Structure 1
């Protein structure tokens, strides 16, 4: 077996390789009636969203980052006909399609397509009008339904941060909070098992998608080669954080501490990275609303066990001690202004993607926070954001680093 091709030991090491997903027809398959179930507050305009996403990718490639696309890796992982057949069965099983006739028609549809077109159709969702007719139809097939889709679209896919996360040389293959997003992790499972880039490699699995508690990548931050920060949030359970800590401590990796951030369970604070990101060795963005109610626990390696202790110091002091720093700067979203801060927080003003120490990608619409970042010595690469931001996720949410340099 080859060694793992993955290595991410910080949030800020120079970014070398990253996974994105260019928004596709799944975004156009959102309807007002489906938005709540599919976790959207609005419907992005696909043409402009793609232009914005292409601008994001160009920022990265212009700075030497290898940009890989989820849809490409998935298609390449499914080139083998037998593997593709297993994937289709797993995909249909997790789609909870009630009618056997519909399921059989979809199986025939998917397997009759070229592999890349099959992947795109699965991601986009299949409208009932697109399902081939003529097969025997069960009672379940004949029931009236308000859902226009035989298979729901996966519009959250452009937030590649969440279905799996790179930590050290391994990954967490996540069990997502909601059914609609848990289906996304199936693509990552097949990529890491069957893609030529990964299949013959030793890649530790810190968490599996079949666990019974949830963990999402937006809650997983790598502060240093010795310390992680994990959010206990609307989408990630405390039990998952402890499970991850136990596994990663036992594997011989360099991580010695996990800081568990218990953040408010509300839509605006969906994941830890929507309220807190690392932008330099000693600088962090933060949404001021979490500072009061924030509860932090430290999980540390103690022989073969995990020691858990609640932290009663300020967040600055906890970060200084954990990272061995003399000082820490918390850059508050929109400078804590009572109007600007919640508006820019809603549009992910605290959600930045570091591509090197002190160098980040940000949304153009968060101009107040961006100015404050610049005043604190941070280089900002500003990307357009009118449509992508409607999905409630920023540059960090839209990217999964696979390789970073050490810092």
Structure 2
């Protein structure tokens, strides 16, 4: 039997069969209050704590599915000279650091993979370098442990992210190279950068793209994914036969915790979803729009009352579970800020989220989900097969401060088909 895994994701909740992770390393620590905002952080993480928290997430996933590390996959493809030369050349051109190209190409694959992620120190042997306020010639990829954004599995393709911020562009370049050349993963990639229309206006990030069902995509539009990016996806979906629906949810630009749709809405089970009530359920100025596609043609674009009602009308009835509970808007706001709505499903009714969001977990429990301590799973004290529906509660005091949750930190590449 082949060890190669072929990418295919037709839902958010199908039993997970493969996921890509990136354990945070020195790139997270290489930050100061002065450059944190440029790195898209509102705070500086304690790496030693963040590493342990992420290790727990990975150990849980290793009990459930096959996991891949970005750095390992990158090291493997950099052994191919043509790939190494092409990727380094593209990165140096994109980031205007051509003088370091030859030194990067001289590195062995493992060290090159490390430097492409953790950054390349700036040479201080010139006056320009000596006087520069920069520490790195090639900046660290501070956000790469949020592997969801730079690439996304959509049906039988991998859509390469076109990032809203230049500081993250290299993540997409690395992921595209991995999916195109890894011996462990077989995939077909789509890159919005190849678009002939509105290329400069297109941005798409994986936190905004949810594969609800074989015929339904739910996509957020706001600071990170533009309407032009969604139009690119529509154009690609139009090539598929049959009927397809794309549900678009507008998102606020502030606060920063609303950067992606999966910070206010995630799918938990065949009949349940997690919602941040003020944005998803309550009347507000952020529109929900349904785009109906039939055999290659957009038949209708129309406004909907809200996201949950729209999915119900499409034959996908979902009972909302409320981030932070139903009683107190302040609690809802606080837990949403710490990724309380951001759950990663490992199967129907089987999800992973942060233990710190206690009111959200209480709400999950009242909706039939058993709350399971992650360390008990890691230590083998609990057998997940004993439970039909559960939330594995992972530690996240530091990871949440990076601005994302369990879904943000996982990039699924294959899921089993859901029996709806």
> In the TM superposition, what are the counterparts of 1:96-245 in structure 2 within 5 Å?
96-97=96-97, 103-104=98-99, 106-128=100-122, 131=123, 133=125, 141=128, 144-198=131-185, 201=186, 203-205=188-190, 207-208=192-193, 211-212=199-200, 213-245=202-234
324 and 122 in structure 1: CA distance in 2 versus 1, 3 angstrom threshold: closer
2:44 corresponds to = 43
Number of corresponding residues = 387
Structure 1 segments of 4 or more deviating over 4 A?
none
2:379 corresponds to = none
Q: Distance in 2 between matches of 1:142 and 1:43?
A: 26
SS in 2 for 1:34: helix
Whether 2:2 is the aligned partner of 1:10: answer no
183 and 339 in structure 1: CA distance in 2 versus 1, 3 angstrom threshold: same
> In the TM superposition, what are the counterparts of 1:376-387 in structure 2 within 5 Å?
376-378=367-369, 379-387=390-398
> In the TM superposition, what are the counterparts of 1:207-286 in structure 2 within 5 Å?
207-208=192-193, 211-212=199-200, 213-252=202-241, 256-266=244-254, 267-286=256-275
Q: Distance in 2 between matches of 1:18 and 1:50?
A: 18
Alpha-carbon shift at residue 314 of structure 1 (Å) = 4.1
Q: Contact (CA 8 Å) 1:246, 1:305: kept in 2 or not?
A: no
Q: Distance in 2 between matches of 1:58 and 1:224?
A: 28
Q: Distance in 1 between matches of 2:37 and 2:155?
A: 35
2:404 corresponds to = 393
Alpha-carbon shift at residue 318 of structure 1 (Å) = 1.1
319 and 173 in structure 1: CA distance in 2 versus 1, 3 angstrom threshold: same
TM-score, normalising length: structure 2: 0.87
Alpha-carbon shift at residue 308 of structure 1 (Å) = 3.7
Alpha-carbon shift at residue 251 of structure 1 (Å) = 3.4
Alpha-carbon shift at residue 4 of structure 1 (Å) = 8.3
Q: Distance in 2 between matches of 1:277 and 1:9?
A: 15
118 and 132 in structure 1: CA distance in 2 versus 1, 3 angstrom threshold: farther
> In the TM superposition, what are the counterparts of 1:273-352 in structure 2 within 5 Å?
273-291=262-280, 292-293=283-284, 294-325=286-317, 328-336=318-326, 337-352=328-343
> In the TM superposition, what are the counterparts of 1:359-378 in structure 2 within 5 Å?
359-378=350-369
Alpha-carbon shift at residue 132 of structure 1 (Å) = 7.5
1:100 corresponds to = none
What are the Cα deviations for residues 211-234 of structure 1, in whole angstroms up to 9, with x where unaligned? 421010000001111101000121
Q: Contact (CA 8 Å) 1:231, 1:260: kept in 2 or not?
A: yes
Alpha-carbon shift at residue 117 of structure 1 (Å) = 1.5
Task: Give the gaps of 5 or more residues in structure 2.
Answer: 370-389
Q: CA RMSD in A?
A: 2.1
Alpha-carbon shift at residue 313 of structure 1 (Å) = 3.2
Q: Distance in 2 between matches of 1:113 and 1:4?
A: 29
What are the Cα deviations for residues 76-132 of structure 1, in whole angstroms up to 9, with x where unaligned? 1111123212221112112233xxxxx43x33432232211111112111232xx38
Name which of structure 1's ranges 388-397 and 240-249 shifts more when overlaid on structure 2: 240-249
Q: Distance in 2 between matches of 1:40 and 1:344?
A: 18
> In the TM superposition, what are the counterparts of 1:353-364 in structure 2 within 5 Å?
353-364=344-355
Q: Contact (CA 8 Å) 2:240, 2:295: kept in 1 or not?
A: no
1:54 corresponds to = 55
Task: Give the gaps of 5 or more residues in structure 1.
Answer: 98-102
2:21 corresponds to = 20
TM-score, normalising length: structure 1: 0.90
